[in-house]
Amino acid sequence: MYQMNTTLSADAVDFIDDVKLEAMVAGLKEDPEAVRRVIAKSLRKEALTVEETAILLGAESPELVEEIFEAARTVKRDVYGNRIVFFAPLYVGNYCTNNCKYCGFRSSLKSAVRHTLSDAELVREVEALEELGHKRLILVYGESPKYSPDFIAHTVRQTYATKKGNGEIRRVNINAAPLDEEGFRIVKEAGIGTYQIFQETYHKKTYAEWHPANTMKGNYMWRLNAFDRAFRAGIDDIGLGVLFGLYDWRFEVLAMVTHALYLQSKFGVGPHTLSFPRIKAAEGLDLNLKYQVSDNEYKRLVAILRLAVPYTGLIMTAREPAELRREVLAFGVSQIDAGTKLEIGGYQEDRQKGEQTLNREQFKVGDTRTLDEVIGEILEGGYIPSFCTSCYRLGRTGEHFMEYAIPGFIGKFCTPNAIMTLAEYLEDYASPETKAKGMALINAELEKLDGKLRTEVVKRLEQVRSGKRDLYF
C-alpha cells in the first residue's frame, strides 16, 4: 500500500504570523481617505499588500462599505467581463480518518453512512452530470488510505473517459487531502485541473481546537505546506480557501492574502482561485458559533478579496442561499456550482428527488435550484454562463495563465468561448425557456464583438447548431 512521506519540504516556512495578524485586526479603524487610496490602487488592477487589505477591512460605515462594493463590481466587470463559469462537485468517497468537528464525514460520527463510489457508480454519476450539461467537475474525497494518489488518479482518468451523448467532462479539478510530492506527481499525470484544498482556519489555536492533534489533519504545517509540495511536483494551478465561521473573518482574509502573496513570490504564480465557504449545518454540529459570519460581513469579505487579488478567480458554492448568491455574484465571483448534490451517489436519477439526508452528506447546501434554473436566472441578470475550459486545455495555466492579465484577452478569447459553450448548453440541455433567454443574450453579446471576430464566432455558432461540439479559441 502507498506510504506517504510526511516530511515537510526542507524550506517549509510558517509564513502566517498569528501575533502580527491579530494585532492588525485589533488595530483596525476606519480611515476613509486611506480606503479611497487603496480602492484607487485596486481599480488600477494592482494586487494589494496585506496592510492595504487591512485598511479596507477597517471600513465600517455603510457609505464607505458601499464604495468598496462599487469598486468590486467595477473590477469584476473590467477583469472578468460578465461571464460566470459553472462547475459541479462530485463526492467520490466519504471514508475519513480525520475528525474535523464541523464535518459530517468526521471519523467519530458513527451514524454517517460511508461509501466509496465503485467504478460503475462513478461512471453513472459523471453521466448524470453530463446529462445536465456540466463540463467541469471537482472530485471530492475524504482523507483515507483508500484514497491513495493512484486511486485519485484512476477516478480522474475515469471521469475524463466517461462520455454520454454529446456530454463530456473537459476539466477535472480535485479537492483531496494534502499529498506528498510523489502523490502530487501521480495526480498531476492524470491531468487534473486545479488542486484545491482549504486551510479551514489560518489561526493556529483555533485550528487545533477544531482538528484533533491525533489526526493527520491536526498537523497545521503539513496542510499549510501542501501547495509548496504541489508546485514542486509540477502542479501550477491551485485553489486555496478558508471555512468561514471558525475564527474572526478579518484575520482569515488577511491570512488568505498573505498565503496568496507568499506563493506568488516563491513560485512566481499565485492561486488560481480562492474559496470562502461559510460553515453550514452538519450532523451533530452546533451552529451557534462565536465567529459566524453575517450576510453583510460575507459580502464585505468577498468584495475585499476581489479588490485585494484582482486577477484571482473567486469561487462561491451552493452552500450559500440563492438570494445572497445573486447579490454577491456582482462583487467579483467568477465561478459557481449549481444543481449540487453532496450525497455520495446523489446525482443519479433515482436519488434526485429525495430530501437531503444529513447522514449521507457532509453538510447542507443553501441553494438547491437546478442548473437550468440557475442558468436561466443569471441570463436574466445579463451574465453569460460559461462552460469554457479552453485555457487549461491549451496549456494556459500557471505563469502562462495570463487569462485576465493580458489586455483584450477577455474580449478575444473568454467571451467568444463563453458564447460557444453556452450555445452548446442551449442546444443540448436547456429547457425551452432557458434556451430562449440564452439565444437572446448571445445575440446581444454578438453585437458587442468587433466585425472580424463576430463573423468568426457566428460561423462557429452555425457549426454548433449543426452538431459540432467543443470549438474554442
Residue numbers of the site for ligand SAM (CB under 6 A)?
102-103, 105, 140, 142-143, 175-177, 197-198, 200, 243, 277, 279-280, 282, 285, 319, 362-363
Does residue 280 touch ligand SF4 according to CB under 6 A? Answer: no
Does residue 361 touch ligand SF4 according to CB under 6 A? Answer: no
**Cα separation, 399 vs 267, whole angstroms:** 9
CB burial class (10 A; 0-12, 13-18, 19+) of residue 264? middle
Rg value, the chain, Cα = 21
Least distance CB 174 / ligand SF4 (angstroms):
13
Least distance CB 201 / ligand SF4 (angstroms):
12
Residues in the chain: 473
Least distance CB 412 / ligand SF4 (angstroms):
40
**Contact criterion met (CB below 8 Å) for 172 and 153:** no
**Cα separation, 245 vs 131, whole angstroms:** 35
In the complex with ligand SAM, the residue whose CB is nearer, 277 or 345, is 277
Q: Which does 415 bind (CB under 5 to 8 A by kind): ligand SAM, ligand SF4, none?
A: none
- Show the binding pattern over residues 71-100: x = contacts ligand SF4 (CB under 6 A), - = does not: -------------------------x-x-x
Does residue 169 touch ligand SF4 according to CB under 6 A? Answer: no
166, amino acid identity = N
**Cα separation, 73 vs 70, whole angstroms:** 5
Element holding 238 (H helix, E strand): strand 238-242
Q: Which residues pair with 314 in a beta bridge?
A: 274
Least distance CB 315 / ligand SF4 (angstroms):
17
Does residue 176 touch ligand SF4 according to CB under 6 A? Answer: no
**Cα separation, 421 vs 168, whole angstroms:** 12
Does residue 223 touch ligand SF4 according to CB under 6 A? Answer: no
Q: Which does 50 bind (CB under 5 to 8 A by kind): ligand SAM, ligand SF4, none?
A: none
Task: Give which of 330, 255, 298, 252 is closest to 72, Cα–Cα.
Answer: 330
Q: Which does 319 bind (CB under 5 to 8 A by kind): ligand SAM, ligand SF4, none?
A: ligand SAM
Residues 118 to 157: which contact ligand SF4 by CB under 6 A? 142-143
Q: Which does 106 bind (CB under 5 to 8 A by kind): ligand SAM, ligand SF4, none?
A: ligand SF4
Task: Give which of 434, 7, 373 is closest to 219, Cα–Cα.
Answer: 7
In the complex with ligand SF4, the residue whose CB is nearer, 106 or 259, is 106
**Cα separation, 78 vs 67, whole angstroms:** 16
Q: Which does 88 bind (CB under 5 to 8 A by kind): ligand SAM, ligand SF4, none?
A: none
What are the DSSP E strand ranges found in 94-194? Answer: 136-141, 163-164, 167-168, 171-175
Least distance CB 208 / ligand SAM (angstroms):
16
Does residue 116 touch ligand SF4 according to CB under 6 A? Answer: no
Q: Which does 64 bind (CB under 5 to 8 A by kind): ligand SF4, ligand SAM, none?
A: none
- 3-state DSSP: the chain helix, strand, coil percent, rounded to 5? 45, 10, 40
Residues 283 to 312: which contact ligand SF4 by CB under 6 A? none
In the complex with ligand SAM, the residue whose CB is nearer, 32 or 145, is 145
In the complex with ligand SF4, the residue whose CB is nearer, 133 or 142, is 142
**Cα separation, 237 vs 398, whole angstroms:** 6
Cell numbers for 70, please give them: 462599487
Does residue 417 touch ligand SF4 according to CB under 6 A? Answer: no
The CB-side HSE value for 467 (13 A sphere, CA atoms) comes to 1
**Cα separation, 319 vs 102, whole angstroms:** 14
Choosing from 72, 84, 92, 103, the residue that interacts with ligand SF4 (CB under 6 A) is: 103
Which whole-number Å values give the CA distances from 308 to 20, 44, 81, 387, in the listed order? Answer: 19, 12, 18, 26
Does residue 206 touch ligand SF4 according to CB under 6 A? Answer: no
Are β-strands 163-164 and 167-168 bridged in parallel, bridged antiparallel, or unpaired? antiparallel
In the complex with ligand SF4, the residue whose CB is nearer, 203 or 299, is 203
Least distance CB 129 / ligand SF4 (angstroms):
21
Least distance CB 119 / ligand SAM (angstroms):
21
In the complex with ligand SAM, the residue whose CB is nearer, 45 or 364, is 364
Binding residues vs ligand SF4 (CB under 6 A) = 96, 98, 100, 103, 105-106, 142-143, 217
